[in-house]
Amino acid sequence: MLKSYSLGLAIVVGTVAASAVICTARMGTSPVAAARAGESIAYPLGSFEFVERSGRAVSEADLGDKVCLVSFIFTRCPLSCPRITGVMKGLQGRLGSSDVLLVSISVDPDFDTPRILKTYADGFGARADRWWFLTSSKARVMDLVQHRFKLPLVETSPAERANCAEIVTHSDRIGLVDRGVLVGYYDSTDPVAVDRAAARAIRLSKPAWVRALPRLNASLNALCAVFLVAGWFLIRNRDSQGPRTNTTNDSPQPSPLLEQPPVRGHVVLMILALLTSSIFLTCYLVYHYQAGSVPYPFGGLPALVYFTILLSHTLLATLGVVPLVLVTLIRAMKHDFLRHVRVARVAFPIWVYVSITGVVIYLMLYQMQPPGSQSTPANPPAIQGV
């Protein structure tokens, strides 16, 4: 049985092998980091109470439906904090009309009153509707930073300050919070990481229907695979009554082959598979128009596997499935079933591979978590002196 599909299977295997070679060579000349530490996490922040520079109380409810980029600063910091705040100012301009909220939290709450924070914010041109500056009690700030964001925060001793140490040391990472859940850390000293943070924040801030499209697309791919396999099963096990093929393409009447229930079922399932793939393509284009490209966050072996699957999936979808399915469809419509079968046996394994790998790509890109990501970061953010 597999022999009749050998050409299609050989095309799939050859494309995967070629993709693996290309991706291996590409990663060898331009290696990807073992994993972008802290960019795939999920830490619920829980409840908190802060005060914005305007004097307005802010709690978890105010951020429950927002996507936020969060930094930690204090106004008496002479070096790192102005740089971090400058990065946030740049983000304010780049985020444009998106709904992403910028939040700067003071780690020196005894000094940074709302009035002082307002003066500081005004100096950086912070828009009150897009960029909040928060303060609270020292205990609440320490709890939020150390236990919710899981970042280092240390108040230096008087003796250390006498030796020119700053009053507080803290991380210069920017946190990405998605509706009350910390989902990533980004190094504010790395422009590429800041770019990733902005792009991901904009993507997460899209309406719910846009965010739901990747899952819908994966479901459509899975459904297409089910239709394909079910249709194949019917045509392989159809009733033996009636002519099995019609080798002519000039018959004015429908072939008796189409009168067989298994064949009619096969036709229906193939039409459903074609419609499902068409809907998928539409949803795929809409999503990437709305959200842009989604970078793969990991490196090493997972990246090699992911990009091999992605490249082979893309090549086979565009150069294999589209032309082959069109040819099989045209020949079936002309009742040229002998030549239809010959092309269908090549198209079938390619189409199934593309449908299944569409689901795998979704799982690897949107659902895959690095080991230990739900407990502690693989590489805890370093303390930065400020």
Residues 114 and 232 in one domain: no
Is residue 379 in a domain? no
Last residue of a domain, one of 150, 180, 205: 205
pLDDT at residue 166 in the model: 67
Domain of residue 357, residue span: 2-31+211-367
Is residue 55 in a domain? yes
Is residue 377 in a domain? no
CA distances from 59 to 50, 140, 178 (A): 6, 12, 15
Residues 50 and 161 in one domain: yes
- Do the Cβ atoms of 77 and 83 come closer than 8 Å? no
What does the mean pLDDT of the chain come to? 86
Based on the structure, what is the number of domains in the chain?
Answer: 2
Predicted confidence band at 356 (pLDDT cuts at 50, 70, 90)?
very high
First vs last C-alpha separation in the chain:
69
Determine the average pLDDT of the residues in 218-240: 89
pLDDT at residue 96 in the model: 80
- Do the Cβ atoms of 312 and 19 come closer than 8 Å? yes
Determine the average pLDDT of the residues in 46-51: 94
- Do the Cβ atoms of 126 and 89 come closer than 8 Å? yes
DSSP state of 37: T
User: What whole-number percentage of the chain has pLDDT above 90?
Assistant: 67
How far is the C-alpha of 256 from the C-alpha of 29, rounded, in Å? 59
Looking at the predicted structure, is the pLDDT value of residue 371 above 90?
no
Last residue of a domain, one of 152, 173, 205: 205
Which residues have a Cβ under 8 Å from the Cβ of 65 and sit 6 or more positions away?
179
- Do the Cβ atoms of 144 and 109 come closer than 8 Å? no
Q: In sequence order, what DSSP letters do the residues of 112-134 get, joined into one string?
A: --HHHHHHHHHHTT--TTTEEEE
Residues 22 and 150 in one domain: no
Last residue of a domain, one of 153, 184, 205: 205
Is residue 87 in a domain? yes
Residues 199 and 56 in one domain: yes
User: What whole-number percentage of the chain has pLDDT above 70?
Assistant: 84
Residues 136 and 227 in one domain: no
Residues 50 and 198 in one domain: yes
Is residue 384 in a domain? no
pLDDT at residue 240 in the model: 44
Q: In sequence order, what DSSP letters do the residues of 290-303 get, joined into one string?
A: HH------B-HHHH
Question: Which SS3 state, helix, strand or coil, does residue 111 take?
Answer: coil
Residues 162 and 236 in one domain: no
> Residue 381 carries which side chain, given as an amino acid letter?
P
Residues 173 and 286 in one domain: no
pLDDT at residue 158 in the model: 66
DSSP state of 176: E
Is residue 38 in a domain? no
The angle formed by the CA atoms of residues 111, 115 and 118, to the nearest 5 degrees, is: 110
Residues 228 and 190 in one domain: no
- Do the Cβ atoms of 145 and 358 come closer than 8 Å? no
The angle formed by the CA atoms of residues 147, 150 and 153, to the nearest 5 degrees, is: 85
Residues 247 and 170 in one domain: no
Residues 353 and 235 in one domain: yes
Most confident range, picked from 10-19, 22-31, 162-171: 10-19
Is residue 290 in a domain? yes
DSSP state of 255: -
Question: Which SS3 state, helix, strand or coil, does residue 59 take?
Answer: strand
Residues 47 and 190 in one domain: yes
Cα–Cα nearest to 15, from 322, 323, 328, 350: 350
Looking at the predicted structure, is the pLDDT value of residue 1 above 70?
no
Predicted confidence band at 372 (pLDDT cuts at 50, 70, 90)?
very low
pLDDT digits (tens, 9 = 90+) for 159-176: 666 565 567 888 899 999
Residue 97 belongs to domain with CATH number: 3.40.30.10
Is residue 373 in a domain? no
Q: In what order do the strands lie in the sheet with 67-73?
A: 43-44, 181-187, 173-178, 67-73, 101-106, 131-135, 49-52, 57-59
Pairing of β 168-170 and β 173-178: unpaired
Which residues have a Cβ under 8 Å from the Cβ of 230 and sit 6 or more positions away?
269
